[in-house]
Structure 1
Amino acid sequence: MKTLSKLLILISIAFLYSCSNNDTTRIKEDREQHEAFLDTHPFNQTIQLSREDRKKQGLPPNAYYEREYLLTMNPSLGRPTPEKVKLINKDLEIAKSVPGNSRSWEDRGPNNIGGRTHVVFFDPNDVGPNNGDGIDYNRAFAGGVGGGLWVNEDVTDANSSWTIIPGVASNLNVSCYAIDPNDPLTMYIGTGEIYTSGAAVGNGLYKTTDGGLTWNEVPIPAASGTDVTVSGNLFKSGIFYVTDVIVRNVNGTSEVYVGIGGEDYVSPNFNISNPNNTLGAQNAGLYRSTDAGSNWARVDGPLLRYTANGDTYYVIPNDFAIAADNELYFGTIGSPINNQGAGRVYRSTNGTTWLLADVIPGADRVELAASKTNSNLFYVAVQTGSNQGDLYITTDDFATLNPMNEPNDADVTIPATDFTRGQAFYDLVIEVDPNNDQIIYAGGIDSFRSTDGGNSWRQISKWTNGNGLSSIPAPFVHADIHAISFRPGNSNEGLIGSDGGCSYVSSYSNAPTNVNVIQNRNNNLNITQFYYAAIDENGAAGGDDFVGGTQDNGTLRVNNAQPGSNSFVEVVGGDGAHADIDGADGYVVVSTQYNNHRYYTYPGYSFRYCITSSNCGDNAGGTGDFINVAELDKVNNYLFANSRTFNGSNGIEVCELFNSSSNCNTITNTQITSDRPTAMKASPFANGNPVLYVGTERSNLYRVSNITTTPVWNNIRPAGLLGSVSDIEFGATEQEIYLTMHNYGVNNIYYTNDGGTTWDLKDGDLPDIPVKAILPNPLLPGEVLIGTELGVYTSSNFNSTSPNWIPAINGMTNVKVVDLDYRASDNTVLAATHGRGLFTGTLDTASIADSNQISNEIFVTPTVSNGNFSIHSELENTYDVKLHDLNGRRVWSKENMTLSKQGSQVQLNLKSGYYILSAYKDNIAISTNLLIK
């Protein structure tokens, strides 16, 4: 019997050893596969290109999207899986708790910057008795790429502001719109942008039937709706990119046409070799509905399809136009399959049978502008194979197509033959005045106007006063024009959408000589895309101090910010990156693209010196990533930065900071030469001798000590770590470490309380989404916040084996959160988003669990009202009650309000929209939402 017992024990030990060995082998193989994907991926070549070389290859001006692709890829698949985000409810339920309680996140701005805007238009219903303020057509909509849909009640007023519209998730990439000519209360918006390497994935088509008050997704069944793998190339099925939408009136019936795109999610513009991962190529094409979007069919026809590898695909509509005789046209853009269908113009009288009107030699993307009075007249803008912008005109309905004279930008860096400066794949606009077909507009880097059908042009905007542009008196509009629209009833007024948001035009005709007739309208249009942000840890009696790096809007800062949204000022232009404040020592470190860091005094922001390069120039020194990982050690006054060189050698730049200079050197190790830093954290407990924790692209976590002499590198990664590290944070001591991962398809959250000897998995029930940042609540053990692809999530039982995670997005909504910072002096949390600016909340000792115990205690009837509703409580109690809009602004409050089951009546005169009602009792808050029509 003893022998049998010993044998069973030996067998058990052998089995456990075998399982452990198998796990070790499996994770080793998974890492090797991930590393192979990283090594062979073509983005490794493109992310190191200069801006000029990127333009030549048809790549977006910055390399952020390529880097995000590599960081977030599922290591088992070799690609990200953004389609999973679509499966998670985009309109996440308003969270019951925002950090530590139910108070809303507060929008802190910037309220004066804006961001990349593809859609700007006036409300066609804002006329007569419906205009509300006695002024016709001054209500406007704007759609941001990654920032959702917004409304402005009087865009003509310089003091007017924008409000985000509920029902359209604020992380959606709004790309196009259409108005039903038979019922202007019915409008559509399309989402997803294919012009930036397909990285701005959309969520289909949305529709309103009440003039923009509420919006609902319109399901479009994807034709050919199955995933396909061909020669190792994955073709993912789905509706990911709506390129354009238009509604045509046919004898009182509204026909809706939608262009569905597909994009090679690896090699934009097809200039890089396989393998490819493609979204929606087999589903692309022209879709049509004749019953208001209830039913859809992809339009078929021999001229609309082509064959590749034995499979059938369809050309991609890029831009629709309706001629003066109601005939329908569309220009195309090249498909992910060998650029098939590029440079074409199609036409149809009935919407089902299509003829090829023209094929433009050497063209890819085609934009159309149809005369409203002459059915034979069209203006055409195209992207050529070299990404140059060219203009054409036809006066005989495409029987002939002739080149037009092109605008010559006063910017001396822009060629006279290409007003887009090699960015026609990114910024290309052509529009015709609806009342005068001789007046046309073109947009590229800047915008232009012609009054003689394109024979001559005048510049109506400029992006800077440099590069020779100070010589012209045109108004300022941010570079990269994406949309030009007209005000109904007066086509000399309009709106311009650019990388800098929305601009209002009071007189197109006077714009060449009057700097005041085009003005920014970005008040509270908070769609700014941040990469990093920081809050001064000491606080300020006069308000809050923030600084952060943004996409194409520079490094922005504000001192003494007041509650609510604030105006920011630019510290340095271009693309901002890492930024941090050391208020105790009186300095700020900010950075621009690549490894370029600057030292400023604080709080005065007086420039002192370039830290990591001699001239702070774009790509100076040839090191680092486009948005480079860096870390400021405020205890020891050191800056650490990724100094990976473009020949593949990796290291970390270590700079000791002084008042007027820095002392820099590079440290490296055989363990990191073939790897790449993706997250850094300086130990706040290492006073006098810096200690740096480095997370890498290839499943490693290093503790680097003895940095100033002979660095010692210790790998303390979790045994099963797989993917690219996104954030590292500490708890009460250096033994407590929180770790998060960028990737889809991995364990995203790890925790250790013994310095990395053992690690626990903490994903719990978190959806499969990238996690970008983590912040433990120092006031309440067991509560942790994370920033994710879909906003902030929080757990109140982090210490459990399988934590529960709930969205904490009240007042912020589900937008990508890339950074979290904390100010201990008043427990303020700063959340930096990539598409909705900055938000703050507070941490306290009232746990979410405590709050949830009474979360069902408060409810409102009816939940949809005209402002008259009742607030009920399951138990009779006294509360402080507050009502906020979705921008976090308090619109009504009442203290010591007695609530019971019978309900207390409230009568409010508020504008239509969604609101969040919060009732506070004993430092705990309960929230519910309601809609006022």
Structure 2
Amino acid sequence: MKQNYKLIPYIIAIPTIILICILINNNFKRNFEINNLSKLSRAEVTALFHEYDQARTKDPATGLVPENIRKQVLNFVSKIPVRNEYYFNNSSAKFGDYPEGDLKWENLGPDNIGGRTNCIQYDIENEDILLVGAASGGVWRSVDKGYSWTKTTSSNAIQNVYCIAQDIREGKTKTWYYGTGELLSTVDRRHILSARMSYPGDGIFKSIDNGATWEPIPSTQGSFAGNLKDNFQGVWKILPDNTILDEDVIYAACLGGILKSTDGGKTWVEILGDSNNKPFSTDIVMTDGGILFASMSRVSLNGVEPAYFGIFRSVDRGLSWDNITPADFPSNAKVIKLALTPNSNNMLYALVDYPNANGMNPYTFQASSLGLWKLANPDIKSKWKNVSVGLISPSEEVMTPATLGGYAFNIKVSPFDENTVFVMGTSLYKSSNGFDDNSQLEMIGGYYYDDGSIGYDLGSDYLHPDVHDIVFLESASKSVFSVSDGGVYFAQDITRPIPQWEQRNDGFITSQFYSIAVSKSDYKDFLIGGLQDNGTFCLRNKKISKTWEEVYGGDGMPVALSKDLDFGFVSWYSGNMVYFTLNPDTHEPENGYYASPNISNSNFNFYTVFQLNIFDNNSLFVAAKNKIYYQPDLKIIETDQNTYYNAWETNSQYTVSPDENFTCFAQTENYPDALFAGTNKGKLYLYDNISNNNKVVKYDISSINFPSNAWLSDIAFDEVNGIILVTFSNYNVVSIFASSDDGSTWESVAGNLEENTNGLGAGPSVRTIKVMKKAPIPTGKHPSGNDVLYFVGTDVGLFSTDNLNGINTIWYREGADDIGNVIVEDLDVVDDGTEFKIYVATQGSGVFGGEELIISVNDEIKLEEKLYQNYPNPADKSTKIMFTLQEAEMADLSLYNITGNKIRSICSGYMEAGDHTVRVNTSGLIPGAYFYTLKTKNSSITKKLIVK
């Protein structure tokens, strides 16, 4: 389904943003800023989002996001036990009991929508094998040219992949490398103020089995205490030297410089760069004869001009360099990309993005320009030719190339025609004359021009905008793969004026969700969620499919569903909302109505929150910065839009101070006719009598212990025990509070999610919180004594607890082998007695569902054979392994190395039914990856173990 239903009154075309179109009904005039809305470029959308994101995560005391905070948080939470480790440390709980909190996790897709993808390469020995790097979803591998995919990055490894490369020397082709760190990113764009932000990496990873498994290269990882490690926070390119056969030489273009290793990555030396004034971007290419060309940006992290800036050439493999920068090269180059003609190496291209102003901050949003130079016969010193004129749009049908400040930015030359050159930006461009002029400039992907409707738009058989990479198949000169913010695409014939692009995203689950909602009606198989850069999608039957269907385009933001699943809401930036109806039989979205309050879009925050009233299911509360607008009759929009738009109300009670903005809403059956609202100033308000706008009363139920000027990110309710919970998403603050007396008093329940009890340190950013009732068990009483589970979504995964115990609360990692450490932006639950499920919206791994099975008091509890993840992992001197046997039987637990050779038997023989725990001595093992396998007569189960 792709927007195949009626939208009334309709939406406006946004030329440089992923489509959403609202047209204004001729019989009704709205008073909102149509012109401003239509003029927002994609870059402006991103900049607005960053302002919102900075406020959510900055340290309120400094106004800044702490440096390297994600790496610090990952290190900190790695010490927090996973849910199953509860049983290692709590002798009163047994695996023979019903495993409370031990949810069954399932990834719900979307398996048909790709997320932001930075790089792609095929196996030189077998073009059917593809490896791609997702911006926040790790490395994925296909063995059938992209018709199916398998994730090969561990869920607990860092997920932000920027570049990938294969060692193509004979006998070495099973060796691959990928680099992490996206120095111009949108992954955390709900937390960073600047137009682009840095998503720091954790070095380089290596595979020796053709990309099936990966291990980090230790020399590129660490605490980033030194300059060398700082380089590997951002790896722009990895270049194995395929001309040297007796050494494993690798070049890495990194933040600050070019590094070289002669031993496969064990050790590195910087051969070009500036360790003090680090160039922001670097690149490197090499001729078949071993001559190196490298680029260094003028823009640096500290603003000071680096010691080396421009384009350099080395004929001695990096021992010395000549500066060959063109005389007319821009003095404020931000990102430089290099490309050589693949076979002849007789032409070098240098593509540069540089800000129109003189600002040197790489993350400050500024309009930028592109320049292109080429150097013939680069083996000898010759003169550059400025061919920037070839980038000028020749007609209205070709959008002027744009890169969003170097974010979507690359250049490649066809190996079959050295005059055919491709430039990647918001769209994909092709020149058939090497950009000597713009007469042969074509736009062949990204946006397309539709003269009959709204200008630049998207098409179902067109390459998704923001293009990052392209590869050419050796077996088919006209065929290419490309990756963009929409995933993986294939074109059979790139020479066509408008190539037909085919998505190869089935099973490539890398989409980035901002919101999720599940139906609470009798039909609970309907999900809807907002996705970054990919609109709003729904899953109409989660039991039989993981294929999601598009509801609306744009940047999908908050969503909502009615209790009876007869209507819902989707939204995008600056208060834009659509009310849509659903077919009662098929649950397919039908008519849509533009439903925002009748005020200017400038009155809304970029990310606008709203609350569908749970008490009457026909009214709505919308945050307009420091005000709340109330719509008393939603369904009238289907028959009388004039009455609907004129019915919006607000009052003085719904208004807070001008510098205070509403950040979240929540309601609960425990507080009838009430609305809870959080703000960016650390305040929590309770509004009573909300059904009568003239009698609304506001109560400030904030605590003096709440962090000042912090972003109150979510509100939840434990309706079983009468507890209110709130979360704060800033770093360096106490992040979770609870009240059991209607908000009169509050205590911190952040517990072990904080490095220090005062909130300072490497505690995660807590984005969302939900409470779910536990499924009933035969004994009628859960071992913990509590009938609910508390979940929090953070910037490093999902955590849960079933026992709030003040500052001593113990939180556990949930879905460590499934969800891993990806960002969790939103949660929703169903716990009405027929189902007990939680839904997890992630940035980079789609949506997960966690289910507790319902056990009748008449059911017999049957044990299943289980092998649990060892703890701790990675292991230092020893680690624990726990497993459960269904019956008394012969069993064997053994340890194997990565090649499959048995190291030793851990335990073997006849064992009783139930749970077993063994401690494994790892002090004599070489650091690296191992596997342990539990074998019985009925099964064989394997887990991975890492030794430090």
Q: TM-score, normalised by structure 1?
A: 0.75
Asked whether 1:586 is paired with 2:586, we answer no
CA contact (8 A) 2:521 2:565 kept: no
Could you list the per-position Cα deviations for residues 67-126 of structure 1 after superposition, in whole angstroms to 9, with x for gaps in the alignment? 2222112233432232313424779987538994545421111111111110111123xx
Residue 138 of structure 1 aligns to a residue whose secondary structure is strand
1:338 to 303, 308, 313: 303
- Amino acid paired to 1:419: P
Aligned partner of 1:10 in structure 2 is none
Residue 830 of structure 1 aligns to a residue whose secondary structure is strand
The residue correspondences of 1:453-852 to structure 2 (distance < 5 A) are 453-455=434-436, 456-463=440-447, 466=450, 475-509=461-495, 511-515=496-500, 518-540=501-523, 544-563=525-544, 566-584=546-564, 586-602=566-582, 603-613=587-597, 621-636=601-616, 637-644=618-625, 650-661=626-637, 662=644, 663-668=647-652, 671-687=656-672, 689=673, 691-707=674-690, 708-722=693-707, 723-732=710-719, 735-767=722-754, 768-779=763-774, 780-781=786-787, 783-799=789-805, 802-809=808-815, 810-825=817-832, 826-843=835-852
Following TM superposition, by how much is the alpha carbon of 1:624 offset from its aligned partner in structure 2, in angstroms?
2.3
Return the alpha-carbon distance in structure 2 between the equivalents of residues 657 and 855 of structure 1. Answer: 56
Asked whether 1:244 is paired with 2:244, we answer no
Aligned partner of 2:46 in structure 1 is 61
Return the alpha-carbon distance in structure 2 between the equivalents of residues 208 and 79 of structure 1. Answer: 37
- Amino acid paired to 1:374: S
Return the alpha-carbon distance in structure 2 between the equivalents of residues 800 and 471 of structure 1. Answer: 53
Return the alpha-carbon distance in structure 2 between the equivalents of residues 759 and 588 of structure 1. Answer: 34
Return the alpha-carbon distance in structure 1 between the equivalents of residues 283 and 594 of structure 2. Answer: 45
Report which stretch shifted further, 762-771 or 546-555. Answer: 762-771
Return the alpha-carbon distance in structure 1 between the equivalents of residues 910 and 801 of structure 2. Answer: 26
Residue 127 of structure 2 aligns to a residue whose secondary structure is coil
- Amino acid paired to 1:481: V
CA contact (8 A) 2:277 2:304 kept: no
Return the alpha-carbon distance in structure 2 between the equivalents of residues 168 and 514 of structure 1. Answer: 36
2:279 to 315, 320, 327: 315
Residue 746 of structure 1 aligns to a residue whose secondary structure is coil
Following TM superposition, by how much is the alpha carbon of 1:63 offset from its aligned partner in structure 2, in angstroms?
3.3
- Amino acid paired to 1:876: E
CA contact (8 A) 2:413 2:420 kept: yes
Aligned partner of 2:75 in structure 1 is 87
2:167 to 180, 185, 189: 180
- Amino acid paired to 2:650: T
Sort the Cα spacing of 1:388 and 1:614 in 2 relative to 1 into closer, same or farther, 3 A. farther
CA contact (8 A) 1:539 1:823 kept: no
Asked whether 1:904 is paired with 2:869, we answer no
Return the alpha-carbon distance in structure 1 between the equivalents of residues 813 and 354 of structure 2. Answer: 45
1:876 to 890, 904, 912: 912
- Amino acid paired to 2:539: V
CA contact (8 A) 2:390 2:441 kept: yes
Return the alpha-carbon distance in structure 1 between the equivalents of residues 83 and 830 of structure 2. Answer: 23
Residue 577 of structure 1 aligns to a residue whose secondary structure is coil
Return the alpha-carbon distance in structure 2 between the equivalents of residues 929 and 473 of structure 1. Answer: 43
The residue correspondences of 1:313-462 to structure 2 (distance < 5 A) are 313-333=277-297, 334-338=299-303, 340=305, 344-349=310-315, 350-359=317-326, 360-361=329-330, 363-386=333-356, 387-397=368-378, 399-406=383-390, 412=396, 415=399, 418-420=400-402, 423-455=404-436, 456-462=440-446
Return the alpha-carbon distance in structure 2 between the equivalents of residues 414 and 710 of structure 1. Answer: 57
- Amino acid paired to 2:115: G
Residue 83 of structure 1 aligns to a residue whose secondary structure is helix
- Amino acid paired to 1:149: V
Following TM superposition, by how much is the alpha carbon of 1:714 offset from its aligned partner in structure 2, in angstroms?
1.6
- Amino acid paired to 1:792: L
Residue 601 of structure 2 aligns to a residue whose secondary structure is helix
Could you list the per-position Cα deviations for residues 425-466 of structure 1 after superposition, in whole angstroms to 9, with x for gaps in the alignment? 222221012343222222222223333333423433353564
1:257 to 251, 254, 271: 251
Sort the Cα spacing of 1:498 and 1:429 in 2 relative to 1 into closer, same or farther, 3 A. same
Sort the Cα spacing of 1:448 and 1:140 in 2 relative to 1 into closer, same or farther, 3 A. same
Return the alpha-carbon distance in structure 2 between the equivalents of residues 902 and 435 of structure 1. Answer: 52
Return the alpha-carbon distance in structure 2 between the equivalents of residues 775 and 205 of structure 1. Answer: 36
Return the alpha-carbon distance in structure 2 between the equivalents of residues 473 and 239 of structure 1. Answer: 38
Q: Which runs of 5+ in 2 are unaligned?
A: 1-35, 87-98, 186-195, 357-367, 638-643, 755-762, 775-785, 856-860, 869-879, 886-891, 916-932
Asked whether 1:213 is paired with 2:179, we answer no
Residue 61 of structure 1 aligns to a residue whose secondary structure is helix
Following TM superposition, by how much is the alpha carbon of 1:51 offset from its aligned partner in structure 2, in angstroms?
9.1
- Amino acid paired to 2:120: V
Residue 325 of structure 2 aligns to a residue whose secondary structure is strand
Sort the Cα spacing of 1:337 and 1:440 in 2 relative to 1 into closer, same or farther, 3 A. same
- Amino acid paired to 1:244: K
Q: Which runs of 5+ in 1 are unaligned?
A: 1-48, 128-135, 229-234, 262-283, 307-311, 645-649, 880-900, 909-915, 918-927
CA contact (8 A) 1:186 1:207 kept: yes
Following TM superposition, by how much is the alpha carbon of 1:533 offset from its aligned partner in structure 2, in angstroms?
0.7
Sort the Cα spacing of 1:147 and 1:63 in 2 relative to 1 into closer, same or farther, 3 A. farther
Asked whether 1:154 is paired with 2:144, we answer yes
Sort the Cα spacing of 1:733 and 1:95 in 2 relative to 1 into closer, same or farther, 3 A. closer
Aligned partner of 2:858 in structure 1 is none
2:894 to 861, 875, 879: 861
Aligned partner of 1:9 in structure 2 is none
Return the alpha-carbon distance in structure 2 between the equivalents of residues 168 and 425 of structure 1. Answer: 29
Following TM superposition, by how much is the alpha carbon of 1:758 offset from its aligned partner in structure 2, in angstroms?
1.6
Following TM superposition, by how much is the alpha carbon of 1:743 offset from its aligned partner in structure 2, in angstroms?
1.6
- Amino acid paired to 2:631: C
CA contact (8 A) 1:535 1:546 kept: yes
CA contact (8 A) 1:407 1:458 kept: no
Following TM superposition, by how much is the alpha carbon of 1:372 offset from its aligned partner in structure 2, in angstroms?
2.6
Return the alpha-carbon distance in structure 1 between the equivalents of residues 277 and 106 of structure 2. Answer: 47
Could you list the per-position Cα deviations for residues 127-156 of structure 1 after superposition, in whole angstroms to 9, with x for gaps in the alignment? 3xxxxxxxx311111111111111112125
Residue 72 of structure 2 aligns to a residue whose secondary structure is helix
The residue correspondences of 1:160-199 to structure 2 (distance < 5 A) are 160-167=147-154, 169=156, 172-182=159-169, 183-196=172-185, 197-199=196-198
CA contact (8 A) 1:857 1:874 kept: no
Return the alpha-carbon distance in structure 2 between the equivalents of residues 50 and 318 of structure 1. Answer: 36
Report which stretch shifted further, 207-216 or 520-529. Answer: 207-216
Following TM superposition, by how much is the alpha carbon of 1:371 offset from its aligned partner in structure 2, in angstroms?
1.5
Could you list the per-position Cα deviations for residues 496-526 of structure 1 after superposition, in whole angstroms to 9, with x for gaps in the alignment? 01110010233323x42552xx211111211
Report which stretch shifted further, 814-823 or 211-220. Answer: 211-220
Q: How many residues align?
A: 772
Return the alpha-carbon distance in structure 1 between the equivalents of residues 318 and 613 of structure 2. Answer: 63
CA contact (8 A) 1:462 1:475 kept: no
Sort the Cα spacing of 1:410 and 1:906 in 2 relative to 1 into closer, same or farther, 3 A. farther
Return the alpha-carbon distance in structure 2 between the equivalents of residues 724 and 474 of structure 1. Answer: 39
Q: TM-score, normalised by structure 2?
A: 0.74
Percentage identity across paired residues of the two chains: 24
Sort the Cα spacing of 1:237 and 1:354 in 2 relative to 1 into closer, same or farther, 3 A. same
Following TM superposition, by how much is the alpha carbon of 1:667 offset from its aligned partner in structure 2, in angstroms?
4.2
Following TM superposition, by how much is the alpha carbon of 1:389 offset from its aligned partner in structure 2, in angstroms?
3.0
Following TM superposition, by how much is the alpha carbon of 1:393 offset from its aligned partner in structure 2, in angstroms?
2.1
Return the alpha-carbon distance in structure 1 between the equivalents of residues 749 and 237 of structure 2. Answer: 42
CA contact (8 A) 1:819 1:832 kept: yes
Could you list the per-position Cα deviations for residues 301-328 of structure 1 after superposition, in whole angstroms to 9, with x for gaps in the alignment? xxx449xxxxx42434432211243211
User: Alignment RMSD, CA only?
Assistant: 3.8
Residue 109 of structure 1 aligns to a residue whose secondary structure is coil
